[in-house]
Chains A and B, each alone.
Chain A
Amino acid sequence: MTVVALPAAVPAPPLPRRLGNAIRLHVANPWPTLITPWLVFAGVFGLNLAIWYIVATAAGGKQNLDADAFDYNGGVTWVLVFLLVMAVQAMSLTFRFALGLGMTRRDYYLGTVAYLGLLAVMYAAGIAVLAQVERLTDGWGLGGRFFAPWFLADLPAWQLWYLNTVVGLLLAMIGTVAAAVWVRWKATGLYAFFFLTALLLIGAAWLMGVTSSWAPLGRYLSTHEPATVVSWTLPVAVLCGALGYLLLRRATPRT
């Protein structure tokens, strides 16, 4: 064979730029992660407002209702669960495209996880701000509690933000594991993933039972700040994040 010369080595683009590209990949089309969720969220909130208004009107004014009538609401959980959905969607849709553009799996994954983290921070901040408005307007003039319902009603704004960020992050990281499983093994992998997750949860519940840990857990939950309690999920989120990378590291872009 002919004598082969090596081409000059060129350093890789700096890491921040590579991660930035992976993040921007998700923002190029802002609808699925930035616009649609807020629109749906606004829709859910609007429906709640309408229901409160109808109930209050039917009762002949909100003064005729119990003080805690509109205190219980799960509308916010929708956004948090949607973070899981976004994680699954974003990764399953962009992985093949990213690799097609010559991104490495590592850069792509780090950028994607960073983006999901930013989303959790952003959505939690939005909820915290709206919760303040909710308090200042006495529940939108109807005594409703949507953004900070139930036991969150009197939580300081920063704690509310922290709580939703951490929960959102956990769900997003669970989403990345599911997405990585999907990208690597498709439907078969997801069946196994959900089966194992169910097994793990049941196993944990059983362990709690045989060690009589339910009562202490209840005591712990009722005597500690919600922000302290959710902090315990941070290691789980980190673990899921690492697991997602281990799975994606050996994935190939298949159709």
Chain B
Amino acid sequence: MTAIVEVSDLTKRYGSLAAVDDVSFVVREHAITGLLGRNGAGKTTLMQLITGQEFVTSGTIRLFGQPPLENAAVLSRTCFIKESQTYPDGFKGEHVLRVASWVFPHWDGALARDLVAEFRVPLDRRMKKMSRGQASAIGVVVGLASRAELTIFDEPYAGLDAVARRAFYDRLLADYAEHPRTIVLSTHLIDEVADLLEHVLVIDEGRLIIDAAAEDLRGSATTVSGRQADVEQFARGRDVLQTDVVGAFASVTVTGLTPSERAAAAAAGLEVGPVSLQQLVIGRTRGTARQEVAS
């Protein structure tokens, strides 16, 4: 495995607040990694640290094996598209694309034009006058057409409608298949991206709470539902991530069921189903929220 990003014991403090709290992980080459978490969990700060825009409080970051801060050799191989990106006054869409074409060594102008047409980006409009969705579309075009070896999308589609988001996922996958590269996708729209991801990082209140292959993660929890009494009996003593009760029926999301346990549950008349990535993340992040309240 080749590590494009390697983060060790990384902490970033703003005053007493630890926006990123002792985080360690690796982003593998030629994979799509999801960086998931709630708003304010520390996703953007983490990515700004990785791209050398923020200064670390402690810990180390390696980007292509080198420290990223002020390092043109590795930053020029990286494209970081963030929702909060601001543009110079008076800049139109065409100016943004022009500068991007100079800065990114692997820029594909034909792909950019193609995407502009598909996302219907008004290139002659000032960035300030664009709607949120149009400005996001510019970011998406830059992120895809840059063909950077490491491309990081931070909530790239704020304001984009479902059709445009679908188009983004399709174009991302198609271009990724043709030109394999390392992609980090940060979002809170977990269900939408679940199928794209090969690896999942979940951050909550600055801490990394999940670091797993998407495949393993999907098998790591199961939803069991049926009559409330039966479900409760089954869930007793297990690691329950989430419980929902509707009338006399209940469903629980539990971790780590063996095949024989699944069979036992089914035999007891309970319905056993897969759990979505989103449910899993909600279960885990709610868990930490509960602990916070309790402590």
Which residues on A are within 8 Å of B, measured CB to CB? 1-7, 9-13, 18, 20-21, 24-25, 28-29, 31-32, 89, 93-94, 96-97, 99-107, 249-250, 252-253, 255
Contacts and interface: CB of A to CB of B under 8 A. Distances in A.
Interface residues of B, number: 45
Contact of A252 (B53, B66, B71): B53
Given A28-B99, A100-B80, A105 B64 contact: no
Interface stretch (B2-10, B188-196, B267-275): B2-10
The 9 closest A-B CB pairs, nearest first, are: A12-B73, A93-B88, A12-B72, A6-B65, A102-B75, A4-B3, A104-B70, A28-B95, A5-B2
A253 B86 CA distance: 10
Contacts of A107: 72
Interface in B72-118: 72-73, 75-80, 82, 84-92, 95, 98-100, 102-105
Interface centre among B71, B75, B82, B104 (most CB of A within 10 A): B75
Interface string B25-61: 0100100000000000000000010011111000000
Given A10-B73, A101-B103, 10 more contacts: A2-B1, A7-B65, A24-B99, A29-B90, A29-B95, A32-B90, A100-B53, A102-B103, A103-B75, A104-B70
B2 A7 contact: yes
Given A11-B73, A13-B72, A252 B103 contact: no
A13 B102 CA distance: 12
Interface centre among A13, A31, A32 (most CB of B within 10 A): A13
A74 to B, nearest CB: 28
Contacts of B88: 29, 93-94, 97
Nearest to A15: B72
A177 to B, nearest CB: 20
A207 to B, nearest CB: 38
A109 B66 CA distance: 22
Given A24-B102, A28-B91, A29-B91, A104 B52 contact: yes
A97 B80 contact: no
A3 B1 contact: yes
Interface of B: 1-4, 6, 26, 29, 48, 51-55, 64-66, 70-73, 75-80, 82, 84-92, 95, 98-100, 102-105, 148
A43 B138 CA distance: 36
B55 A250 contact: yes
Contacts of B53: 99-100, 252-253
Contacts of B73: 9-12
A25 B99 contact: yes
Contacts of A94: 88
Contacts of B2: 4-7
Contacts of B100: 101
A107 B66 CA distance: 18
B1 A5 contact: yes
B66 A97 contact: no
Contact of B85 (A9, A29, A93, A100): A100
Given A28-B98, A101-B100, A102-B78, A13 B84 contact: no
Contacts of A12: 71-73, 76
A255 B53 CA distance: 13
Contacts of A4: 1-3, 6, 26
Contact of A32 (B1, B89, B105): B89
A165 to B, nearest CB: 26
Nearest to B102: A21
A107 B72 CA distance: 8
8 contacts: A4-B2, A9-B66, A10-B64, A12-B71, A93-B89, A97-B87, A103-B103, A255-B86
Contacts of A31: 90
Contact of B3 (A6, A29, A89, A101): A6
Nearest to A3: B1
A158 B4 CA distance: 54
Contacts of A10: 64, 73, 77
B55 A252 contact: yes
A9 B1 contact: no
Contacts of A3: 1
A102 B80 contact: yes
